Homo-oligomer: A and B are copies of this chain.
Amino acid sequence: MKLAELTVKAFTDELASSSPAPGGGSVAALAASLGSALSSMVGRLTVGKEKYKDNWESMEKVIESGDALKDRFLKLMEEDTEAFNDFMAAMKMPKDTEEQKAARSKAMQEGLKKAVQVPLETLKACKALAEIALTAAEKGNPNAITDAGTAALLAKAAGIAAAYNVRINLGSIKDEAFVSETNQVVKETLDNIFNLADQAGKIVEKALG
C-alpha cells in the first residue's frame, strides 16, 4: 500500500512502529509536501482579491509550483521507503560463495546510491520550495503571512533532514568521486535553502512586530 493512501493517523502509527521504514527520509519529504501545499494555499488566498492585483502573476506561479511540488514530494516520500527496503533486501542476499558475496556487495552499493539519490532529490526540491515560500511571504495575502513563514520553516527543516539522509548513506559508498561531488551539491543546496528561508523568516518577524 502506498504511504500517501494511509490516513494521517495510520501514517503516524506506522512511523512510530519498530519498522525502520518509513523513517526520517520519508518524513522530510512529507514535511516538504505540507510546506508546498501551504504555499499554494497562500497563493489561492491572494489571486482574485482586487487589493493584491499587482501580485497575482507572481502568486499564480507559486500556486503552479506549489501544487507540483506537493505531489512530487509525496512521490519522494514513497521512493525513500522503497530505496530503504531495496537496500535491506540486498543486505539479506546470500553470502556463502565468493560469487554471491560479489553480487551482494554490488546490489548493496547500487541500493545505497538510490538511498542517496532519493533524499538528494528531496533536498534539491526543498530549494524550489524555499523559493516559492519566500515569494509567498513577500507577495502573498498578508493575512496568511504566518502560513508562508511555516512553509519556509518546513523547507529548511526538511532540507537539513534530507541532507542527513544523503550524508549517512554516502558514508558507506566506495565511489570517492561520487561522494565528493555529492557532498559539494549538498552543501551548496543547503546554503541556498538557508538564505531563502531566513529571508522569509525576516519578513514574517517584521510583520509580527
Contacts and interface: CB of A to CB of B under 8 A. Distances in A.
A112 interface: no
B146 A24 contact: yes
A164 B133 CA distance: 15
A144 interface: yes
B208 A164 contact: yes
A82 to B, nearest CB: 16
A15 interface: yes
B18 A37 contact: no
Contact of A28 (B15, B150, B168): B150
A108 interface: no
Interface residues of A, number: 58
Given A7-B5, A11-B8, A145-B168, A16 B37 contact: yes
Interface in A1-38: 3-9, 11-13, 15-20, 23-24, 27-28, 30-31, 33-38
Nearest to A24: B150
B161 A153 contact: yes
Interface of A: 3-9, 11-13, 15-20, 23-24, 27-28, 30-31, 33-38, 40-41, 44-45, 66-67, 70, 74, 143-147, 149-151, 153-154, 156-157, 160-161, 164-165, 167-168, 171, 204, 208-209
Given A4-B8, A24-B147, 8 more contacts: A3-B8, A12-B37, A18-B44, A20-B143, A20-B144, A23-B144, A24-B38, A24-B150
